[in-house]
Structure 1
Amino acid sequence: MKISKSMIAKIILGGVCLVGIGCTDRTLSSADGVLDQTKQNGSEIVVPHNERLFLSTDKKWINEEGHQSDLIRLQWTADRAKPAIAWADENGKDKTAIISHDKANNPEQHDHKHLSFETTMSPDGQYADQLFTRLEIPYDMDVSEIRTQSSNFNVMNGILRVAGETGSNRDLQFSVAGEDNKTTPRWAVRADSTKEKGGNTGSDLQFVRYGDDGEVVDSPLTMQRSDGNVGIGTDEPDTKLDVNGDKLRIREKHTPKSSTEPCSQGQMAWDDQYVYVCVAQDNWKRTELSSW
């Protein structure tokens, strides 16, 4: 279809022209200078250097009326087509792009079905200057599994937040990647679903472990928000450290040089003959060990 200057003018001046709806005419006087210089170069419409397109609308997004707020609409007409918006450097080489497509170039790969943000690889690397997907936002799903690839995520002078309603789990999960972007969880740091009832209760912090099948095994470590109690093997610690097990281990032996060796109340130590307990500042007591 040949694009006329009047159609370009409607774009420049903020007019909306949609298939099946028609266009609203507006004065072209302010765009005449640009239109006189606009030319068609092969399959491209070329706007004069340093001029720009200005799009505006007061229409809502209404499907039945043709999405009137679609000022720019990119459509693929073949199943492996990839409509894109690309940015090029002064030499005309693509550096960044936003692309949406349904299927991969390689028919053997799984369907992509995503919007991707792409930037070039290192100019002196294995895939020099090739556009590579850094961020994927899938479509056709109720919960979109957003992914990054070969990217680090930094929060500078801000907050990385995992939010949710009280009574829901909020997880930071560590998983194993498999085929077709499938993942299987191994660990999670979780603010759990314990409901908040005031008095700093609820939303306790847990470390959750998963089995090889990706199912939860248990929560080996829990920290209560209400009082800071720490539970190992228990979700309901009732002391500062509550261990649900039948052994504690201090691997290294230590023999205080004297009963007044510097120590802090509550410290413990052992050697081949005694168990030592610091009962007050710089005050050790001991009890002798015997065999049976």
Structure 2
Amino acid sequence: MLALAGVPPFELGIPSRVFGNAFDDEGRALYEVVVCTADGQPVDSDAGFTIAVAHGPQALATADTVIVPPIHDLSELHLGGTLSQPLASALALVRAGTRMVSICTGSYVLAAAGLLDGRPATTHWQRAEEFRRAYPRVRVDQDVLFVDDGDVLTSAGVASGIDLCLHLVRRDHGAAVANRVARRCVVPPWRDGGQAQFIERPVPPPTVASTTGTRAWLLDRLADQISLEEMATHARMSVRTFTRKFRDEAGSTPGRWLTAQRLERARDLLENSDLSIDLVANRSGFGTANSLRQHMRSVLGTSPNAYRRTFRGTAV
């Protein structure tokens, strides 16, 4: 593990906790976890204390897997450009064929090193757009908990590092070992859905644009089935003009926008009400539970019941 300045202690501790609890049937440790820094010196964490390590960058030369936890201070990366010289020198010690892994914004380090060019990857959803702009050659998927691209793996934010490390144990030693590790760590061995279910998608604020009134009108009638013609009539426009103005002002077609708002209503009802899935589907405008399931699976990667368990801690 390569600890950099500004590392969050929680994420730094994830690999040690997960891999350190992996044993074979005879109780022998399956991994040796070593923490190093780029120059062998202590680094400041983002929690107000300094982390001292026992190893310098030479540890990278013997590693089979190198894990880069997140960093909040991206100044060492010359964002969108090259790595700082100390960090580049440290990574140059990594042997060819070594498995490279990042947790959260550790993906910036792999991207700046050119290891993600042309490859699928993920990072924390809050940094996804910045990440795309800084490293346009990377194929970013912000909706997943982690991406396994063989010898390069990336995870989304914070606790998704646990999901990725358990995945590595499962890949290396099978599901039984990974399940035992998960039990020791008191976490699920596999989480339903992806990062998409945690992304905030607030309703755009009203503007002075000409379809604002119709959008507000639609938000009050999400449970109703309203045609495009009825929307255009409410806005006092032709269907063609309404569709064009709506896309210009809301950044989406009326149908897609309406589906997104219905999905937000369904998420709110699942989190904050005891309504059945059928009633949630009806009141959010999806009509049937099956339709709601299909939309949630497509957009959020999870089901209504799994979403409710995640955000309420119980199935009602």
TM-score by length of 1: 0.21
Question: Larger RCO: Structure 1 or Structure 2 (Cα < 8 Å, ≥ 6 residues apart)?
Answer: 2
Q: Which has the larger radius of gyration?
A: 1
Q: Comparing both structures, which one devotes a greater share of its residues to helix?
A: 2
